[in-house]
Chains A and B, each alone.
Chain A
Amino acid sequence: DAGITQSPRHKVTETGTPVTLRCHQTENHRYMYWYRQDPGHGLRLIHYSYGVKDTDKGEVSDGYSVSRSKTEDFLLTLESATSSQTSVYFCAIRLTGSGNTIYFGEGSWLTVV
């Protein structure tokens, strides 16, 4: 599984509440990504990180923030969840030394009611 885990795997939350999703890796990969997946849209990049405290926005970053205070953890925060943020969230890492391919975590199913 390339040492990547996401938590929580499933969450139901209410509109307006803050939510944090965690991506944890054990293999010291530099690049980490957060994608969301919605029907008809494929996977869209929310934010990514290219090192500790180095992050940048993707194509659908509005309403989301991220933090990476240590190599192994990349946190995605919804400051005030909305129903439009109901989605499946995938964390991904870039596997160095393996053709630099992108490997996905198992996903986090978030429902905002």
Chain B
Amino acid sequence: GENVEQHPSTLSVQEGDSAVIKCTYSDSASNYFPWYKQELGKRPQLIIDIRSNVGEKKDQRIAVTLNKTAKHFSLHITETQPEDSAVYFCAASNNAGGTSYGKLTFGQGTILTVHP
């Protein structure tokens, strides 16, 4: 089955700096890669996703890049703010259809702390 590795496990940055979180996946059939943000005691919430036919996607201060050949994808947060502090999870799935459609395999999570 799919295996997703996420690094680093913790990341501490100063407000205004950039933050990068990296993930690798094992199953070359995976074609959908979402990122979730989870605040303490809350549900994981989707912040951005990318599909295998796209190399990069941006949404304001957040961007995700995908390298299918190397089987890795990354989350980039620019101009970080204290409210960006949370746990971030990457995930991968194969959305090609069938009964197992869309099962997500998650990375272990990154605790991001943004210091004012």
Chains A and B come from one and the same complex? yes
Contact surface of A with B, Cβ cutoff 8 Å:
31, 33, 40-45, 48, 50, 54, 56, 58-59, 90, 94, 99-107
Chain B: interface residue total (CB-CB under 8 A):
23
Contact surface of B with A, Cβ cutoff 8 Å:
1, 6, 34, 42-46, 49, 89, 91, 95, 99-109
A102–B102 touching, CB < 8 Å: yes
Number of A-B contacts (CB under 8 A): 54
Known A42-B89, A101-B49; contact A48-B106, beta-carbon cutoff 8 A: no
Known A94-B102, A102-B34; contact A42-B108, beta-carbon cutoff 8 A: yes
A41–B108 touching, CB < 8 Å: yes
Among B44, B95, B99, B107, contact of A56 (Cβ-Cβ < 8 Å)? B99
A42–B106 touching, CB < 8 Å: yes
